C-alpha cells in the first residue's frame, strides 16, 4: 500500500474489555514496530518484528499486551482487560531491511478506556 494503515482509528473501550488493533505495513517492509504515545509525550517502543519473528518485546508494559504478525505482513496488537492507563495512541511503523532505513509511521489508533 501507499503507507502504513491502522485500524480502527478511534476506539472507546470499557475498562476490562479486550481490544485488538490492526496494522497493515507498507508492502514489502520486513520490519514492523509498535509504539505507544501518551498525550503530550514522545512515542515509546513496545515491540519489534522482523518478518513473522517477534525479535523484541521488551517494551510491552504488562502481560495484558500481546502482538503477533503470523504471516510476516499484517500485525495485530491485542490488549486484554483494558485499564484506564492504557488510554493512548498506538502507532505502528514499518521499514525495509537494513541500517538507517526510514521508519514510516501510520496515523495511529486512538484508544480511550472509560
Per CB under 8 A, residues contacting another protein are 4, 31, 33, 35, 40-45, 48, 56, 59, 91, 93, 99-100, 102-108
Q: Which three cell numbers stand for residue 13?
A: 473501550
When the beta carbons of 66 and 104 are compared against another protein, the nearer one is: 104
Q: How far is the CB of 42 from another protein (least distance, A)?
A: 3
CB of 3 to another protein, least distance (A): 9
CB 11 within 8 A of CB 111: yes
Dump strand ranges (E) for the chain: 5-7, 10-13, 19-24, 31-37, 44-50, 53-56, 65-68, 75-79, 88-95, 104-105, 109-113
The answer to whether the CB of 35 falls within 8 A of the CB of 93 is yes
Nearer to another protein, 66 or 105 (CB): 105
Nearer to another protein, 14 or 53 (CB): 53
18 vs 52, beta carbon nearer another protein: 52
Residue 50 C-beta: closest distance to another protein, Å: 9
| CA distances to 1, 49, 52, 53, 68 from 71, in Å | 17, 11, 6, 9, 9
- Least spacing, CB of residue 81 vs another protein, in Å: 26
Amino acid at each position: 500500500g501507499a503507507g502504513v494503515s491502522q485500524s480502527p482509528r478511534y476506539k472507546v473501550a470499557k475498562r476490562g474489555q479486550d481490544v485488538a488493533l490492526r496494522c497493515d505495513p507498507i508492502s514489502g517492509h520486513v520490519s514492523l514496530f509498535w509504539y505507544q504515545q501518551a498525550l503530550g509525550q514522545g512515542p515509546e517502543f513496545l515491540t519489534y518484528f522482523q518478518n513473522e519473528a517477534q525479535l523484541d518485546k521488551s517494551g510491552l508494559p504488562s502481560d495484558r499486551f500481546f502482538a503477533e504478525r503470523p504471516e510476516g505482513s499484517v500485525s495485530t496488537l491485542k490488549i486484554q482487560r483494558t485499564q484506564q492507563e492504557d488510554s493512548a495512541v498506538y502507532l505502528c511503523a514499518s521499514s525495509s531491511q537494513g541500517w538507517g532505513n526510514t521508519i514510516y509511521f501510520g496515523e495511529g489508533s486512538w484508544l480511550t478506556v472509560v
